């Protein structure tokens, strides 16, 4: 499985932050988005950052890690601290784990494994997203999506072909944003202009994918599998 958790690192002491980053870089399931040594700077940048997990110290000047975690809505949190007395408070706010310093790679790996498990369960339990369409806001159920392509009239828009054959026009959204909201194992970008549901694949080879859905002329939809996205596609159809 190629799932990675995107994480932020926070420790007000630079040596501790450097050491934490070094450990995290050795854990393949983690993708470090950014490191901070000031909790307020992290909070200031949160609206513009794409992340799933924050690995944070607790005792820091200005705002402590517990208070910060409460402000990170729907994000996973692992605490790293030299103090044992915050453990019950940490779990009261549903922290994934509480790691006592000095942090070891083995202990951090266990915490990350817990995060990954919770992250996947959270994604699996979600059934739909709501997006802007040419008809207003719509609930787009994952199990109904077959194929998404760039609109021919305006490339900022995307056409979605649903399981019943109907078409939905998504307004002003890019593929990166879509992929962040779709279940990672169930959908894949195959070239610059198209995303597919893995369940819609009927045949494939090194360069082409034939879908189980058809064009209006009843011919099956055949897509180019570009080199850029080939490995990701192959990993998902072989799981």
Q: Among residues 80, 85, 69, 105, which one has the least CA distance to residue 17?
A: 80
Angle between helices 105-125 and 14-24 (to 10 degrees): 70
Residue 180, pLDDT > 90, answer: no
Handedness of CA 148, 150, 153, 155 (dihedral sign): positive
- Among 75-79, 140-144, 179-183, the minimum mean pLDDT is found in 179-183
- pLDDT tens string 84-98: 888 888 888 889 999
Buried (b) or exposed (e) across 74-106, using 16+ Cβ within 10 A?
Answer: eebbbbbbeeeebeebbeeeebbbbbeeebeee
- pLDDT tens string 13-67: 999 999 999 999 999 999 999 999 999 999 999 888 889 999 999 999 989 999 9
Burial class from Cβ neighbours inside 10 Å (0-12, 13-18, 19+) for residue 19 reads middle
Asked if CATH classification 3.40.50.2300 holds for the domain at 5-124, the reply, yes or no, is: yes
Q: What is the pLDDT of residue 224?
A: 97
Domain ranges of the chain: 5-124, 128-237
DSSP H helical ranges for the chain:
14-24, 39-45, 65-71, 87-92, 105-125, 175-181, 227-237
Q: Give 164's pLDDT tier (boundaries 50, 70, 90).
A: confident
* pLDDT-above-70 percentage for the chain: 97
Q: Please state, in angstroms and rounded to a whole number, the distance separating the CA atoms of residues 149 and 30.
A: 30
Domain 128-237: CATH class, spelled out? mainly beta
Residue 237, pLDDT > 80, answer: yes
Residue 1, pLDDT > 60, answer: no
Mean residue pLDDT of the chain comes to 91
C-beta atoms surrounding 183 within 10 Å: 16
Local structure of residue 110 (DSSP, 8 states): H
Q: What is the pLDDT of residue 173?
A: 94
Task: Evaluate whether 5-124 and 128-237 have a shared fold.
Answer: no
C-beta atoms surrounding 68 within 10 Å: 22
Q: What is the pLDDT of residue 123?
A: 65
Residue 73, pLDDT > 80, answer: no
Q: What is the pLDDT of residue 32?
A: 96
Q: Please state, in angstroms and rounded to a whole number, the distance separating the CA atoms of residues 48 and 182.
A: 19
């Amino acid at each position: 499985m190629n799932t990675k958790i995107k994480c932020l690192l926070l420790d007000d002491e630079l040596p501790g932050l450097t050491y934490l980053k070094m450990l995290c870089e050795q854990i393949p399931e983690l993708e470090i988005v950014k490191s901070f040594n000031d909790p307020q700077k992290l909070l200031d940048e949160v609206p513009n950052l794409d992340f799933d997990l924050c690995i944070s110290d607790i005792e820091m000047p200005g705002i402590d890690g517990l208070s910060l975690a409460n402000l990170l809505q729907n994000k996973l949190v692992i605490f790293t601290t030299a103090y044992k007395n915050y453990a019950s408070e940490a779990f009261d706010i549903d922290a994934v784990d509480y790691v006592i310093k000095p942090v070891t790679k083995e202990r951090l790996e266990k915490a990350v494994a817990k995060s990954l498990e919770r992250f996947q369960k959270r994604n699996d339990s979600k059934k739909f997203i709501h997006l802007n369409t040419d008809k207003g806001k719509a609930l787009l159920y994952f199990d109904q999506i077959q194929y998404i392509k760039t609109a021919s009239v305006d490339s900022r828009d995307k056409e979605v072909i649903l399981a019943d054959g109907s078409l939905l026009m998504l307004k002003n959204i890019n593929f990166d944003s879509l992929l962040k909201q779709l279940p990672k194992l169930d959908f894949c970008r195959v070239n610059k202009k198209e995303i597919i549901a893995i369940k819609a694949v009927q045949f494939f080879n090194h360069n082409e994918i034939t879908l189980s859905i058809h064009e209006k002329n009843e011919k099956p939809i055949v897509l180019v599998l570009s080199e850029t996205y080939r490995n990701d596609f192959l990993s998902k159809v072989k799981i």
